[in-house]
Amino acid sequence: MKMQLSEIAKAVGITEVPEEWQTLTITSVQFDSRKLEPGALFVPLNGDRDGHDFIENAVKAAATATFWQSEHANQPSEIPALLVDNPLKALQDLAKYYLERFNPKVVAITGSNGKTTTKDMTAAILGSKYNVVKTKANFNNEIGVPLTILGMTSNTEVLVIELGMDRPGQLDLLSHMVQPDTAVITMIGEAHIEFFHTRSAIADAKMEITHGLKDDGLFIYNGDEPLLIERAKTVSERQSTFGLNDADQVFATDIVVEPTKTTFKVNTDPTIDFSIPLMGEYNVSNALAAISVGLNYHMKESEIATALENFDLTKNRTEWLKGKNGERILSDVYNSNPTAVRAVLASTTRVPTEGKRIAVLGDMLELGVDSDAMHADLADSLSPEQFQEVYLVGPRMKSLEENLKGKYSKKNIHYYNSDQLDELSSQLNAILTENDVVILKASHGIHLENVVDAIKE
């Protein structure tokens, strides 16, 4: 970005700034004082710490200016301070202004599972024809979304943005901020069910992505999900469905799942072979969502297929790695819920191996009062014939351990506390061989990525 401080002030409702401030140029926006660079606007946010406490760091880092809560003491004198009622709201208002100024097409994506993979696929498809900016990492909340917007360059033609949620009303705010031309819902699962209590309530909250949808926009959703079909009737904008059934407008046929890729055809042009560098039918569904977006942006199936073949996938989402002992590692440790675990386990059983298949499963967080039962029920997706060893991590996995005792011998079930990741890593490095396949799946809060780092090549 590149904006004069006077324009930023106007964008957040400040009508007058001192004359000597007006021509100052801002080239970036940052809330983390450790990442500030000269030319930055510092945004002090309240989290575990009050961001205002880090103003000295911002000054030392040569930040050009700062937002400052008007009621907050110790207003800095070393750099210009734009007084606002709420720095976070000011950040969001600035992002909305910036987005409207450059006016790219906006593709907004949400879902209980698959939204990041779908975002990456969509960006790859559209990026083969347009100048595209996409959400990095997990910048998908009230802070990350405006920062993603403000990271756009002036020549951005399409913004592919991921929208996350953990409470009602969150997607309503984000949708109105980004005002999507295309809104996508990948699926409805159990993520955050602790706060929503039912999948129906989750579906209601996910539908908030349509609240800011432009009048001439398009709503793309999973047509295999009855909860979405029912709610889509209340949306007046254009609609398109994707899925694995021929009732969907865009659907897949001839699906072949291989260890490191999945191939399929699409009904819109059955002569084209599609291939994605991921395994699992659930990833075909994600691809169909992205394909639907590409078709809406007047791209040919052949162009879309080429873009999907080797798209850039965000780290730790069904990522194949090589282990220190030569084993194949499937890292999927960014988030987890029962639907996602069952899907990745089922796909892993199709991976041929001369050695053992080993499942390393960590706690699934935010499942609420039924958490123990949901963990225990995963026993139906595990058997000694398919997974010879099972490693469990975290207090919630105790219920699964108990439920597996009737299926597995004691020596093949291994339990670790959340603070025993080093011990788990050492044990895996001691037993894994070049013929083995190991899948690691957990919610991000369990930090199984540390185990991945310890066992990968």
| pLDDT confidence of residue 316 | 65
Q: Please say whether the beta carbons of 82 and 95 come within 8 A.
A: no
Q: Which of 208, 113, 102 is nearest to 219 (CA)?
A: 208
- Total domains in the fold of the chain: 3
Give the residues across from 42 on adjacent strands. Answer: 30, 66
| pLDDT confidence of residue 12 | 97
| pLDDT confidence of residue 113 | 86
113 annotated to a ligand binding site: yes
| pLDDT confidence of residue 331 | 93
List the chain residues with pLDDT less than 50.
Answer: none
Q: Which of 30, 290, 231, 312 is nearest to 147 (CA)?
A: 30
Could you give the percent of the chain with pLDDT greater than 70? 100
End-of-domain residue from the set 309, 337, 353: 309
> Do 291 and 361 belong together in one domain?
no
| pTM confidence score | 0.88
Alpha-helical runs (H) found in 213-350 = 226-232, 281-296, 301-309, 338-348
Helix (H) or strand (E) holding 41: strand 40-42
Using CA atoms, how far apart are residues 27 and 107, in angstroms rounded to an integer? 25
115 annotated to a ligand binding site: yes
- Judging by DSSP bridges, how do beta strands 3-4 and 25-26 pair with one another? antiparallel
Q: Which of 321, 399, 332 is nearest to 360 (CA)?
A: 332
What CATH number is given to the structural domain containing 270? 3.40.1190.10
Range of the domain at 53: 3-86
Q: Please say whether the beta carbons of 375 and 344 come within 8 A.
A: no
33 annotated to a ligand binding site: no
Using CA atoms, how far apart are residues 25 and 4, in angstroms rounded to an integer? 4
What CATH number is given to the structural domain containing 59? 3.40.1390.10
> Do 172 and 289 belong together in one domain?
yes
- The pLDDT tens digits for 314-362 are 776 778 899 999 999 999 998 898 988 998 999 899 888 999 999 999 9
114 annotated to a ligand binding site: yes
> Do 220 and 286 belong together in one domain?
yes
> Do 266 and 377 belong together in one domain?
no
326 annotated to a ligand binding site: no
358-367 burial, b at 16+ Cβ within 10 Å, e below that, comes to: bbbbbbbbbb
91 within some domain: no
- The pLDDT tens digits for 179-230 are 999 999 999 987 777 788 899 999 999 999 999 999 999 999 999 999 999 9
